[in-house]
Amino acid sequence: MADKNQLTTASGMPVDNDQQTLTAGPRGPALMQDVHLMEKLAHFNRERIPERVVHAKGAGAYGVFECTADMSKYTRAEFLSQAGKKTEVFARFSTVGGEKGSADAARDPRGFAVKFYTEAGNYDMTGNNTPVFFIRDPLKFPDFIHTQKRNPATNAPDPDMFWDFLSLTPESIHQVTVLFSDRGTPKDYRHMNGYSSHTFKWYNVNGEVFWVQYHFKTLQGVETLTRQEATRLAGEDPNHATTDLHTAIEEGEFPAWRVCVQIMPEKEAKTYRWNIFDITKVWPHKDYPLIEIGRMTLNRNPANYFAEVEQSAFSPGNFVPGIGPSPDKMLQARIISYHDAHLYRLGPNYQLLPVNAPKACKAANYQRDGYMRLDDNGGSQPNYWPNSMGGPEPDPGMAEPPIALEGPAARHPQEVTEDDFFQPGELYRRVMNDTDREHLVGNIVTHLCNAQKRLQLRQTALFFKADPDYGRRVAEGLGLDTKDVQRLAAMSQEERVKATSA
């Protein structure tokens, strides 16, 4: 048997030589019977798995979530039931649109995904560093992402595609405003907040339902890059945020976030000003203040990037008792599509990989077989339910309280209204300071100037609708006539599209 440091083939046979191919004579040819060479090359050819179609470039780390307040009044989730209770986590941060080799400093939302390894199963919070999103109907998602990728003919990013889609999708204006503020280029992964963006359902042991939104507030402080700094970093150090996270943890400077929620009793959703299942909206803090529930600290780097970060798989469908989905259409689609993406990338048994498997409890079910079944596959236990052989049993006590659904089954229009422009307007007018506004306008102008003029006009009209000063300054930066922009802003979206058609 090979000793500890013996190089072996994958089947464990000791390898005698890893430098010289087996050949007939010193000048070759190579012999097919060199099984070590054949195996080494064949495995090398299969090293790459499909890249994530979004969130391809990322970095991750392990850590701990410490609950700081007993939340059992609102949720039966055990990991939130007691101040001081600790739960292991794995977090992955990422850019969204770029490929695996793209720059960390890109202007893009940042993925902010956290897997809580709880005793009641793994709970995944798959958020972003922005509280809202570009679209609110999942049917638009693949098209939206295509516009952020490469032009099918030139294979280069295309400002026309980018701004054409966004200006035809006015509900994107809130997220576009966040994206083009300096928060669209966070300094690194440690200096940014995370948001669930979606509304989720919490329910307690009495079956009472609450709607919640999560906020992870960085304890390092929010820090951002200017577009000039981001452009420089993208060239000089495209992995700057990946390296920063790793180095900080290696040096014992553990990044931490204060974890908060906004909580709304179930019945208030019906009469609240905003549709809380619309991901393009936030819940203003003055209506629903942040309530602290814990602290997340990242304190351990993965030992192997591929095994633990590339193969980490998060799903908004990974709930635990006490937490469930809301009717948000985007969330409903993500529940299906994240799991589906992992089945494609990693195979049907991806949840058996160590980074994805439960750590604080054991998964027990009747799923069997499939590619790369890594465990004992249920051994000799029964593989069907119901059985009277002592197999795992469903627990009716874990049922979610029902929520009432109503309405005709149809493709319901969710028209863009003036409401869609109010919150981005508030962000511009009330939250941003003069420097933020100056950077926002500069960041937009530098990008939008590369699109066709008719697209510049159509998009700038949307900025104008959010706030006239915002639209006027973008128009001036682009050298557009503000009167043209104002005229377009006064039109319906349909008229505006007609007036700016090619």
In the complex, minimum distance from the CB of residue 468 to ligand NDP, in angstroms, rounded to a whole number? 17
- Tell me the residue length of the chain: 502
**Catalytic-role residue among 36, 122, 128, 443:** 128
Nearest to 216 by CA among 175, 256, 180: 256
| Contact range with ligand NDP by CB under 6 A, out of 37-45, 72-80, 202-210, 279-287 | 279-287
Determine if 103 is a binding residue for ligand NDP (CB under 6 A): no
Nearest to 108 by CA among 227, 240, 245, 244: 227
Catalytic-residue membership of 318: no
| Contact range with ligand NDP by CB under 6 A, out of 19-27, 228-236, 359-367, 427-435 | 427-435
Judged by CB under 6 A, the chain residues 211 through 270 that form the site for ligand NDP are: 217, 222
Determine if 37 is a binding residue for ligand NDP (CB under 6 A): no
DSSP string of 174-203? HHHHHHHSGGGSBSSSTT--EE--S-EEEE
Q: Which residues pair with 353 in a beta bridge?
A: none
**Judging by beta carbons within 10 Å of its beta carbon (0-12, 13-18, 19+), is residue 204 exposed, middle or buried?**
middle
Please give the C-alpha separations between residue 350 and each of 25, 42, 62, 341, in angstroms, as whole numbers: 46, 22, 19, 11
Rounded to an integer, what distance in angstroms lies between the CA atom of residue 137 and that of residue 279? 9
| Contact range with ligand NDP by CB under 6 A, out of 87-95, 341-349, 380-388, 422-430 | 422-430
Whichever of 175 and 459 has its CB closer to ligand NDP, that residue is: 175
In the complex, minimum distance from the CB of residue 263 to ligand NDP, in angstroms, rounded to a whole number? 13
Determine if 181 is a binding residue for ligand NDP (CB under 6 A): yes
In the complex, minimum distance from the CB of residue 196 to ligand NDP, in angstroms, rounded to a whole number? 10
Rounded to an integer, what distance in angstroms lies between the CA atom of residue 136 and that of residue 329? 7
Whichever of 285 and 453 has its CB closer to ligand NDP, that residue is: 285
| Contact range with ligand NDP by CB under 6 A, out of 138-146, 302-310, 349-357, 419-427 | 419-427
| Contact range with ligand NDP by CB under 6 A, out of 11-19, 117-125, 198-206, 426-434 | 426-434
Catalytic-residue membership of 447: no
Q: Which residues pair with 255 in a beta bridge?
A: none
Tokens of 198: 């979606």
Among 94, 128, 172, 193, binds ligand NDP (CB under 6 A): 193
In 181-322, at which residue ranges do the beta strands (DSSP E only) sit?
194-195, 200-203, 209-218, 256-265, 291-300
Whether residue 386 has a cis bond before it, omega within 30° of 0: yes
| Contact range with ligand NDP by CB under 6 A, out of 371-379, 421-429, 446-454, 468-476 | 421-429
Pairing of strands 194-195, 200-203: unpaired
Whichever of 89 and 282 has its CB closer to ligand NDP, that residue is: 282
Among 50, 207, 265, 284, binds ligand NDP (CB under 6 A): 284
In the complex, minimum distance from the CB of residue 397 to ligand NDP, in angstroms, rounded to a whole number? 34
Whichever of 43 and 285 has its CB closer to ligand NDP, that residue is: 285
In the three-class reduction of DSSP (H, G, I as helix; E, B as strand; rest coil), residue 45 is classed as helix
Among 96, 166, 249, 282, binds ligand NDP (CB under 6 A): 282
Determine if 427 is a binding residue for ligand NDP (CB under 6 A): yes
> What single-letter amino acid sits at 60?
G
Rounded to an integer, what distance in angstroms lies between the CA atom of residue 352 and that of residue 354? 6
| Contact range with ligand NDP by CB under 6 A, out of 18-26, 176-184, 335-343, 447-455 | 176-184
Backbone angles phi, psi at 17, to 5 degrees: -155, 125
Determine if 352 is a binding residue for ligand NDP (CB under 6 A): no
Whichever of 217 and 342 has its CB closer to ligand NDP, that residue is: 217
**Catalytic-role residue among 5, 36, 43, 55:** 55
Whichever of 427 and 475 has its CB closer to ligand NDP, that residue is: 427
Determine if 423 is a binding residue for ligand NDP (CB under 6 A): yes
Whichever of 455 and 462 has its CB closer to ligand NDP, that residue is: 462
Rounded to an integer, what distance in angstroms lies between the CA atom of residue 72 and that of residue 30? 68
Nearest to 200 by CA among 254, 248, 269, 256: 269
> What single-letter amino acid sits at 398?
M
In the complex, minimum distance from the CB of residue 269 to ligand NDP, in angstroms, rounded to a whole number? 16
Rounded to an integer, what distance in angstroms lies between the CA atom of residue 183 and that of residue 436? 10
Give the list of residues 6+ apart from residue 135 with CB closer than 8 angstroms, or none: 141, 144, 169, 171, 172, 280, 330
* Cβ atoms of 128 and 112 closer than 8 Å: yes
In the three-class reduction of DSSP (H, G, I as helix; E, B as strand; rest coil), residue 216 is classed as strand
In the three-class reduction of DSSP (H, G, I as helix; E, B as strand; rest coil), residue 23 is classed as strand
Measured in whole angstroms, the distance separating CA 485 from the mean position of its chain's CA atoms is 34
In the complex, minimum distance from the CB of residue 433 to ligand NDP, in angstroms, rounded to a whole number? 9
In the complex, minimum distance from the CB of residue 423 to ligand NDP, in angstroms, rounded to a whole number? 3
Among 66, 160, 419, 426, binds ligand NDP (CB under 6 A): 426
Judged by CB under 6 A, the chain residues 303 through 322 that form the site for ligand NDP are: none
Helix (H) or strand (E) holding 88: strand 86-95
Rounded to an integer, what distance in angstroms lies between the CA atom of residue 164 and that of residue 177? 16
Whichever of 336 and 431 has its CB closer to ligand NDP, that residue is: 431
In the complex, minimum distance from the CB of residue 184 to ligand NDP, in angstroms, rounded to a whole number? 8
Residues contacting ligand NDP: total by CB under 6 A = 18
Whichever of 282 and 352 has its CB closer to ligand NDP, that residue is: 282
Active site residues: 55, 128
Q: Which residues contact ligand NDP (rule: CB under 6 A)?
A: 131, 178, 181, 183, 193, 217, 222, 282-286, 423, 426-427, 431-432, 436
